[in-house]
Structure 1
Amino acid sequence: MKPIWVVSMKRRKILIGLVLTFFVAVTLAVGFRGQDQEIWSWTLGDRVVVIDAGHGGVDPGAVGISKVLEKDITLGVSKRLQVLVQQSGAKAVMVREDDRDLGTSQGLLKRKREDLAQRIQLAMDTQAEVYLSIHANSFPDPKLTGAQTFYHSDSPEGKLLAQFIQQELNSMTNTTRVAKGNQDIYVLKKAKQAAVTVELGFLSNLQEEQLLTNPEYQQKLAIAIFQGLSLYFSKQTETNQR
C-alpha cells in the first residue's frame, strides 16, 4: 500500500488548482458571497471553456457616449475571466488576447463573416464544453441599464448556463434582468456546446459606460460570470452522478 502522502500527478495538479483558486478567491473577495464559497471553482477541474471577447481589430463594436469602444470593454472583462478560469485548473481558450479580429478579407462584411466562423471553429477544434461570448450593449433609449445573458432558445444546456450566470450578475450588480432566449445571434446558433452571450451593460447609458471602464467593476462582472459557470458545471456533475 502506498503512503498517503504519495499522490498521482493528476491529483496533485487538482490540489494545486484548488490552492491557487483559494488564494485568488480571497484576493478578489469583494465579489464573493458567503453562500457561494461551497461551489467556488474546484467544480471546473479539467474543463475547457472558450472565452470570446466580442469584436476586435477592424470591428470596434458599439461606441459609447464618451466614445468608449465595446471591443476594449469585452477584452478587459474576458482577460479577467481568463485568470479566474485558469486559476481553477480549467483550460481557458481565448478567442483573442489583444485588439484583433480573425478575418482576413478586405471587405468588411465578408471579413466579419470569416471572423465569426473562425470563432466557432476554434471552439470545435479545442473541444470546448462551454462557449462564453462577451459583449456590451447599446440602445437608443439611454435609460436602459444592466447586464443580461442570452442563450439559444432550443438549447436547454445554454439556458441553464445563462440562468446561472444571470443570477450571479444580478446579485453582483444589484439588477433584476432575466436570461433571455434568442434565435438570431450567430454564435448561439452555430456553437456545438452550451453557449451564451453575456451583454455586460449599456454603453448608451453614461453612468454604466463609466462603470464598464472601471477595473474594479470589470472584475466584479468577471467574478459573476465565473461563479455562474461554476454553478453550471456543479449542476452538471451532480446530474451525471445520479
Structure 2
Amino acid sequence: MPRPKIILASSILILLAVTGIFLSQKTAVHTAKDVPGWSWILGGVTISIDAGHGGVDPGAVGVNKTLEKDVNLQVSKRLQVLFTQAGSKVVMLREQDRDFGTSLSLLQRKREDLAYRIQTAMESQAKIYLSIHANSFSDQRQHGPQVFYHPESDGGKLLAESIQQSLNKVGTKEREAKANQSYFILKNTDMVAVTIEVGFLSNPEEEKKLNESAYQQQLAMAIFEGVGNYLAKEQPVAAAD
C-alpha cells in the first residue's frame, strides 16, 4: 500500500530541518519552501549507491594512511539511511569491505568488480546511480568535493550540478561539476549517473575531516539535498496532486 502523502511530507520536513542544522555552518537553515518538491518526489524512487573500491582494492591512500574504500562506505551508509527514511528504494552495491571479483589477477579482478556493479545497478532499474569516491592528487593543496558526469548525459549534468551546489555549502572550496568520459561507471550505465569525489585524501587537513563522523554526515546530507533538488526540478509541483 502506498505511503500516505501526509506522512511522507512530515518525514521529509524533519529531514530538511536536520539538513539545515548540518549545513548551517556556511548557510542559513533551510525551510520547506526551499525545496517544495521534496514532500512527494523521493518516495518510491530507486537509487543505487555505489561505495567505490573495497576488499583487495583500497582506492586512494591518504597522507596519514586513510583508505578511500573506508570513507566511501561510511558516506554511502549515511546516504542509505537518509534516502530510506525519505521513502526511496535504496540499492547498496556494497555494504561491507569487499569487492566483487574472483580472479587472481588484480587487473582482471577489478574489471569483474566493475562489471558486477554496473550489472547490479542496471538490474535494479534504478533512476539514479551515485558512485561515491574520494580524491587524491600530487598537489596536497587541492581540496573540496567535486561531482562528475558523462558529457553525453543531460540528466547526469543537471544532477551533478545540483549536488555540487549543495556540496559547495559544506566544503571549504567552491567547485563546479565537470564532464568526464573516462570514468568506467559513467560510460557504461544507461541511467542518470554521477561520480562524487567527497574530498582529497592527499590533503592532510581534509583527510582528517573525512574521518570525522560529523563531516561524513554533512557530506551525505548535501548529496541527499542535491538529489532532492534535482528530482523536484525534473518533475514540476503539478505532479503532487
With the length of structure 2 as denominator, give the TM-score of the two structures.
Answer: 0.90
* Distance of 2:141 and 2:17 partners within structure 1: 35
* Distance of 2:183 and 2:18 partners within structure 1: 35
Match of 2:21 among 23, 30, 40: 30
* Distance of 2:68 and 2:141 partners within structure 1: 18
Q: CA deviation at 1:22?
A: 3.3
One-letter amino acid matched to 1:89:
G
Could you tell me which residue of structure 1 aligns to residue 93 of structure 2?
95
Matched residue SS, 2:167: helix
Could you tell me which residue of structure 2 aligns to residue 80 of structure 1?
78
Matched residue SS, 1:10: coil
Cα distance per residue 1:172-230 (max 9 Å; x no partner):
22421100000110000001101000000000000000000000000000000000000
Q: Provide closer, same or farther for how the CA distance between residues 68 and 235 of structure 1 changes in structure 2, counting only shifts above 3 A.
A: same
* Distance of 1:65 and 1:94 partners within structure 2: 28
One-letter amino acid matched to 2:53:
H
Contact 2:150 2:181 survives alignment (8 Å)? yes
Could you tell me which residue of structure 1 aligns to residue 141 of structure 2?
143
Match of 2:204 among 195, 206, 209: 206
* Distance of 1:126 and 1:196 partners within structure 2: 17
Q: Provide closer, same or farther for how the CA distance between residues 181 and 28 of structure 1 changes in structure 2, counting only shifts above 3 A.
A: closer
With the length of structure 1 as denominator, give the TM-score of the two structures.
Answer: 0.90
Q: Where does the alignment leave 5 or more consecutive residues of structure 2 unmatched?
A: none
Contact 2:17 2:29 survives alignment (8 Å)? no
Matches within 5 A, 1:159-198: 159-198=157-196
Q: Provide closer, same or farther for how the CA distance between residues 35 and 103 of structure 1 changes in structure 2, counting only shifts above 3 A.
A: same
Contact 2:49 2:129 survives alignment (8 Å)? yes
Q: CA deviation at 1:36?
A: 5.4
The higher radius of gyration belongs to 1
Could you tell me which residue of structure 2 aligns to residue 5 of structure 1?
none
Q: Provide closer, same or farther for how the CA distance between residues 37 and 239 of structure 1 changes in structure 2, counting only shifts above 3 A.
A: closer
Match of 1:17 among 8, 25, 41: 8
Q: CA deviation at 1:45?
A: 1.5
Contact 1:44 1:230 survives alignment (8 Å)? yes
One-letter amino acid matched to 1:37:
A
Q: CA deviation at 1:20?
A: 3.1
Contact 1:18 1:89 survives alignment (8 Å)? no
One-letter amino acid matched to 2:110:
K
Matched residue SS, 1:132: strand
Matches within 5 A, 1:210-225: 210-225=208-223
Could you tell me which residue of structure 1 aligns to residue 116 of structure 2?
118
One-letter amino acid matched to 1:145:
H
Q: CA deviation at 1:92?
A: 1.0
Could you tell me which residue of structure 1 aligns to residue 48 of structure 2?
50
* Distance of 1:172 and 1:76 partners within structure 2: 17
Matched residue SS, 1:171: coil
One-letter amino acid matched to 2:79:
L
Q: Provide closer, same or farther for how the CA distance between residues 47 and 124 of structure 1 changes in structure 2, counting only shifts above 3 A.
A: same
**Superposition RMSD on alpha carbons, in Å?**
1.8
Q: Provide closer, same or farther for how the CA distance between residues 176 and 29 of structure 1 changes in structure 2, counting only shifts above 3 A.
A: closer
Q: CA deviation at 1:35?
A: 4.4
Tell me the percent identity: 51
* Distance of 2:115 and 2:167 partners within structure 1: 28
Contact 2:13 2:32 survives alignment (8 Å)? no
Q: Where does the alignment leave 5 or more consecutive residues of structure 1 unmatched?
A: 1-8
